[in-house]
Amino acid sequence: MSSKRKVKRYRLTKKGKKAAMMITAVLTIICLCFGLVSCMTSKNYIAEEFRESDISNKTAGHKFISEVFKKEDKIYALHYPNFDNAILSDEVEKIVEKAKILDEEEITSHLEYSSSKAFDQYISVTFTLTQYTEMEKNTPIMESGSKEIYSFVFDEKNQKFLTLEDCLRNKAYRELKSSYDESSLVLKEIKETGILVGTNQGDVWMKYDQNPDYFKLIHDSIPSILEYPVIEKQNRELNDKPRLAFTFDDGPTEGITKRIVDLFDQYNGRATFFALGSRMEQYPDILRYVVEHGHEVGSHSYDHPDLSILSWDEVNEQLGKTEDIFYSITGQEIELLRPTYGNVSQIMKENIDITFVFWTIDSMDWNSRNTQAIVDEIIPYLHEDAIILMHDLYESSADAIESILPQLADEYQFVTVSELLEAKENESRTQD
């Protein structure tokens, strides 16, 4: 659908403009009579305020303000909602302030809006601000003039503005980015059937029932692939000790993964688990345990093929399926991928937009399956920001962690891969 969708128009026709000027003139006289000239020059005169009769505004449940005034030979016709809510009023105020600024050549400022309310919770408002010069005003085409669109969606229940990221899962966002200019993407409206996305090529409707796997917006009436309650992300402050990121591939595994989580928890440390989609399906409770304890989970494919020899469709299926399973169990998105066998094809490099994570120390735990041998492959090779490759498959790997962590806890901090990458990025930024 194009951005020129039918919204309630308050555009002034030629007749309307005359009427507006007349109203302004009458008001000016009244003001003068009462010696209230200042109300026209310093404060903006509110012409009238009345209850909106349009259906869409009835559902949005608010009054609106209509200001028509003339100031320094410029005409302003501003229509905007009047919300009881302070957060909303502030946002509206900002847009109205913009509408009250005209360039030197411009002579008319015209603000109109449309609004709706969905699920008795989401208030969507779209403003259209059109400002005309003398010449534009005289052109017969009413679409002339500089036009700007402002939209916001407010979640009344949680008292916050929503963004596209609040509504859409990464996969849907990725799809939008492949067709439209990323910087133009904006959430315009939440409806009971779908969401309206503003793009550089006009508005796009995304319907809930067409792609239930696309939506992160949670409501009883919106279909979702979520099977468990959402686990909130936990952020924490790192300290100044050198960082180590221990990573565990191929899990989750009964009896091993939770044990490793508990060991890291003892030292206020966090690890990263590159899990297989097939095993997440098998052990949802272990997966939730890992995430609830603040550890990170990345993708290691669905069932461990060598991704580098697969076609893009096959790779996409391996990753997409794993992403959906992880989301359905935790309500979170996967941000990292450890390619199986550390192999990456050109196809993967070109098409995958999540972060590839390799390692700097290989514990060879899959080969030795011997606690001391594993410890000996790690301790002598440690360095700052090391990423250590292990597997949460074997008892010997968990035993090695039990031996290693107390030896290192004073000197190092144990962080997730994302924490490590973010800290490094912040450091390089402050060095610039």
CB of 416 to Zn ion, least distance (A): 18
322, with CB counted inside 10 A (0-12, 13-18, 19+), is buried
> Which is nearer to Zn ion, 60 or 378 (by Cβ)?
378
With contacts defined by CB under 5 A, name the span among 121-129, 136-144, 243-251, 353-361 that binds Zn ion: 243-251
Taking each helix axis from N to C end, the angle separating 395-408 and 257-266, rounded to the nearest 10 degrees, works out to 10
**Among the listed residues 67, 112, 203, 250, the single contact to Zn ion using CB under 5 A:** 250
Which residue's Cβ has the minimum distance to Zn ion?
A: 249
> Which is nearer to Zn ion, 136 or 250 (by Cβ)?
250
Place of tokens 């973010």: 422
- Residue-wise DSSP of 187-231: EEEE-SSEEEEEEBTEEEEEETTT-GGGB----TTS-----SPPP
Q: How far is residue 378's CA from residue 159's CA, in Å, rounded to a whole number?
A: 49
Which among 311, 310, 321 has a CA at the least distance from the CA of 281? 321
> Which is nearer to Zn ion, 250 or 365 (by Cβ)?
250
CB of 340 to Zn ion, least distance (A): 5
- Residue-wise DSSP of 96-122: HHHHT---SSEEEEEEEEEEEEETTTE
- Is residue 249 within the footprint of Zn ion (CB under 5 A)? yes
With contacts defined by CB under 5 A, name the span among 84-92, 114-122, 139-147, 244-252 that binds Zn ion: 244-252
With contacts defined by CB under 5 A, name the span among 123-131, 238-246, 247-255, 404-412 that binds Zn ion: 247-255
Residues in contact with Zn ion, counted by CB under 5 A, come to a total of 2
What does the per-residue mask of binding to Zn ion show for 194-233, with x meaning CB under 5 A? ----------------------------------------
| Structural element, H or E, at residue 71 | strand 63-71
> Which is nearer to Zn ion, 62 or 300 (by Cβ)?
300
> Which is nearer to Zn ion, 12 or 393 (by Cβ)?
393
> Which is nearer to Zn ion, 249 or 365 (by Cβ)?
249
Residue 209 sits at φ, ψ, to 5 deg, of: -75, -15
159, with CB counted inside 10 A (0-12, 13-18, 19+), is exposed
Residues in contact with Zn ion by the rule CB under 5 A: 249-250
